[in-house]
Structure 1
């Protein structure tokens, strides 16, 4: 293939003829390609697979992380160990393209790799790397670790994604109508375009932005002078950057600037769209913020045999399939922890990125109540935890380790490592109940419950993210009813959610599973039906064309 004059490798559906480049720091395309950390990557991966299945004129642009996010191993006492292993990707194609971009006023070589759409049935994708012999060691490390903890390295990664990705499109001679930033990491692309076109209106015409962060403090800021010195703004004068961004203090807010340079943006659930408008509405000059609810790829995630049994109305085959899925996943649990789980016992799974607001150890807030739950003989329960804390987030790592230590006291409580695509799928198949208990309204979307539903798990969640659009309590899942959270302290909110969670779990959910399984099975089926189309990423990819790209 002649990459210097790149053409889309499949026939485009006329409905999706707008030419789009999708910039993201992470993509969860396949277990073999370890360039993602969590939900942002899972979302981007599903988007790329749906873009392929709908024949959209869209390419993905990311970074080829030499060591990935990190590999989750264990210390001798079973606690978390962060390890870094070089990844090998023989299925990627060397484009032969190398070019230089300025980072910190010095030229850095960028090498480009290509993922053929047929490899994983995704949109065509390009991955940038600075790990080449021509670069010095510091420049090589830019593409080593996803979300590097060093501020200067992180800014350099944003420059690589944004400026490097925009430059790549020029190298490919591949004109795009839309530059879609999945989070603000790729914002340097906007300044590259500004230098190219010398017109802010032209940049705005091309730029769209998806924000995933529902509170202002969570949006990344970096020292303005550091960004300037590192060539983040493609040579634009500081006064001009301040005029365009509207930021006058010493902290450069990437998301706020993106909202001012894009012509339209979106939140990732209907609730998050409202929260984003309230959060950013006090600032002048921001673009319109719409809402496009996240979704996941049904073709990739769902268990087809479980759906077939449901559609055939064969309850015996349906139950047998779910039992098999649980047994298969429990072999992973047994291998890692030595705990032998029973597929006939009610199984709760809490699995996602470990972050403070997600409250991974919430069930353990009252140790006696937790013990009563796990030692109930009439209605036995078994629980699995999994997820990757950010490797420098010591409180999250401490929470993970706290759960590991607690699990040593119970034969029916396990904490497993290696929470990536494959384990995620297996745990969703293992779950009778998919537990999600973030503080409202901290979860912008939270898509893991969608894919859990596609494998016959029932959602139980606080009323946040996508949940208000989905859960009908007692019909297709269970939800903790919202309180007046705005007038509660964090401690009051936690106490309210905790009491409601245990009350619903002990008095509604667990007894229903054991005493009226026919009703439980129907709730499973209702969830599978309700998630099937509304929260399939084909719907989402179509909405991006209808709402953001048109």
Structure 2
């Protein structure tokens, strides 16, 4: 394992509470972490001079178990950082609640396609100098109460900044904060810049990933003063507080020269939420090499030289032999169906039209929309063409609605075993995601509009020739061409004065498209169906990748 960190010419410091870089390391909870990992991989491929900072999350997010009654149980995740990371003999301290808390760094090197390496610094408070609650600050990702979260954000922001300085990364030109979790770093940077606000602001980049106000961290000022102590200053209170709470998004916004949302629509929503700020947009992507399944990769390798480091060249897949693409898809599908049957005993069939839905389980993502009228769904499956459905996803431990959605699907599986094949895969992670996005026939996504910031699972599906059917929100507003890259659910234009989607109308539209367009195409016009698969690759995979995304960050935010 690499031991020495090259800290010369690391111009960008990328901060994220979670980073999903290796499926065996539970240092991520979902989309934010996986996106961070994909971003870093593309930076390594493109030789972008970056260092990343995150928390170690020694106990992970949680291992999901569904009991016999459909209830989600959260179990701790045990993993050994020594198996993947190198401990660096260096410590810094951060004063939290008036007491010095010591932090040690672990490093993981992401190696790009040409051998260029990017270090990820994982911060760990489980050291002998710390006692009690201080030792476990970096244990649980998104665990505990608000005080625990604020202590974590102290370690990430203040501790992360100090750690970079201690490790010799003192020539950083831009600090890229992903969500407000690391925003406290601005106070350290302000000190380094001799309290020059404009110099500090010129060094900060902020990406908001959340279009819902409740998704932005806020802390009561009494708690802030208790935890931060002297680090907190009243000087900026008017700009960074709302309703007597420190708003971490407002803090990051105020101190950042460049701010962006993660899709065009999300940029608009964010400008409406924060009218004082000029919020740009850079649409998310995925790391092409990571998310393309081996059978599809082999096809690309034989037909498009250099696609791995130039995903835009996937445009040339337009003329790919349809039979070869279908054969590669069937390989992926067989692997998925075998896995699902082994894990769930669902008795799924290789020949049935397979719908996939996998993401965080929460009410606004509407995982149960397709079950709004079970009688009709079963009738469509019986009369038009056999359907089977595969679901996966975790609900946040405190999200009762999300947990109820899992239970509802569990109950539907048992109630309708003889009518329609439905499976729920436990403990959704990167390895399960890779099977799903490549092995299903269509990817289902139906968030309430306008609550989806971007979404990336449909982009991963597109890399494997899997079309998407989705409500028109997030990235799909940009990637959707009706009946070519996939299909829409619900209204094509959404008036600004309308608050949210109409679930009744959208479920009706979903059923109609399955019955009258999608299933007849799949079962009766296979040649045309494969054209849709090919279109998903050459139109969407060629653009919605992190290589394109990172290049936009470079020109708009990093080296402007």
TM-score, normalised on structure 2? 0.91
Q: Tell me how far apart the structure 2 counterparts of residues 117 and 426 of structure 1 sit (CA, whole Å).
A: 23
The 8 Å contact of residues 7 and 174 in structure 1, kept in 2 or not, is answered as: no
SS at match of 2:492: coil
The 8 Å contact of residues 429 and 452 in structure 1, kept in 2 or not, is answered as: yes
The 8 Å contact of residues 45 and 112 in structure 2, kept in 1 or not, is answered as: no
Q: Following TM superposition, by how much is the alpha carbon of 1:215 offset from its aligned partner in structure 2, in angstroms?
A: 2.8
Q: Tell me how far apart the structure 1 counterparts of residues 478 and 368 of structure 2 sit (CA, whole Å).
A: 26
Q: Tell me how far apart the structure 2 counterparts of residues 422 and 326 of structure 1 sit (CA, whole Å).
A: 15
Alignment of 1:134-533 (within 5 A): 134-175=129-170, 176-197=172-193, 198-231=195-228, 235-237=231-233, 239-243=234-238, 245-247=239-241, 249-281=243-275, 283=276, 286=277, 288-303=278-293, 304-307=297-300, 308=302, 313-374=320-381, 376-408=382-414, 409-410=416-417, 412-480=421-489, 481-484=491-494, 486-488=496-498, 490=500, 493-533=502-542
Q: Following TM superposition, by how much is the alpha carbon of 1:134 offset from its aligned partner in structure 2, in angstroms?
A: 1.9
Alpha-carbon distance change, 489 to 444 in structure 1, aligned in 2, over 3 angstroms? closer
SS at match of 2:364: helix
Q: Following TM superposition, by how much is the alpha carbon of 1:248 offset from its aligned partner in structure 2, in angstroms?
A: 5.8
SS at match of 1:252: strand
Deviations 1:17-39 (A, max 9, x none): 77000000111111112111111
**More deviation in 412-421 or 83-92?**
83-92
Q: Tell me how far apart the structure 1 counterparts of residues 498 and 505 of structure 2 sit (CA, whole Å).
A: 10
What residue is the counterpart of 2:105 in the other structure?
Answer: 112
Deviations 1:374-414 (A, max 9, x none): 4x154000000101111221210111111011112225111
The 8 Å contact of residues 333 and 416 in structure 1, kept in 2 or not, is answered as: yes
The 8 Å contact of residues 306 and 455 in structure 1, kept in 2 or not, is answered as: no
Alpha-carbon distance change, 331 to 360 in structure 1, aligned in 2, over 3 angstroms? same
What residue is the counterpart of 2:11 in the other structure?
Answer: 19
What residue is the counterpart of 2:63 in the other structure?
Answer: 71
Q: Tell me how far apart the structure 1 counterparts of residues 203 and 230 of structure 2 sit (CA, whole Å).
A: 18
SS at match of 2:246: strand
Q: Which ranges in structure 1 are unaligned for 5 or more consecutive residues?
A: 10-16
Q: Following TM superposition, by how much is the alpha carbon of 1:464 offset from its aligned partner in structure 2, in angstroms?
A: 0.5
SS at match of 2:334: helix
Deviations 1:457-513 (A, max 9, x none): 1110000001111110001111123354555565x7112222212211221111111
Alpha-carbon distance change, 289 to 312 in structure 1, aligned in 2, over 3 angstroms? closer
Q: Tell me how far apart the structure 1 counterparts of residues 508 and 105 of structure 2 sit (CA, whole Å).
A: 52
Mapped pair 1:537 → 2:546: yes
SS at match of 1:85: coil
Q: Tell me how far apart the structure 1 counterparts of residues 335 and 240 of structure 2 sit (CA, whole Å).
A: 55
**More deviation in 190-199 or 459-468?**
190-199
Q: Which ranges in structure 2 are unaligned for 5 or more consecutive residues?
A: 304-316
SS at match of 2:443: strand
Q: Following TM superposition, by how much is the alpha carbon of 1:313 offset from its aligned partner in structure 2, in angstroms?
A: 3.3
Q: Following TM superposition, by how much is the alpha carbon of 1:315 offset from its aligned partner in structure 2, in angstroms?
A: 2.8
SS at match of 1:124: strand
Q: Tell me how far apart the structure 2 counterparts of residues 53 and 208 of structure 1 sit (CA, whole Å).
A: 22
SS at match of 2:88: strand
The 8 Å contact of residues 114 and 127 in structure 1, kept in 2 or not, is answered as: yes
Q: Tell me how far apart the structure 2 counterparts of residues 248 and 336 of structure 1 sit (CA, whole Å).
A: 47
TM-score, normalised on structure 1? 0.92
SS at match of 1:97: coil
Mapped pair 1:58 → 2:55: no
Alpha-carbon distance change, 59 to 18 in structure 1, aligned in 2, over 3 angstroms? closer
Q: Tell me how far apart the structure 1 counterparts of residues 453 and 121 of structure 2 sit (CA, whole Å).
A: 27
The count of corresponding residues between Structure 1 and Structure 2 is: 533
Deviations 1:131-154 (A, max 9, x none): 122211211221111111311000
Q: Tell me how far apart the structure 2 counterparts of residues 334 and 246 of structure 1 sit (CA, whole Å).
A: 51
Mapped pair 1:7 → 2:16: no
SS at match of 1:504: helix
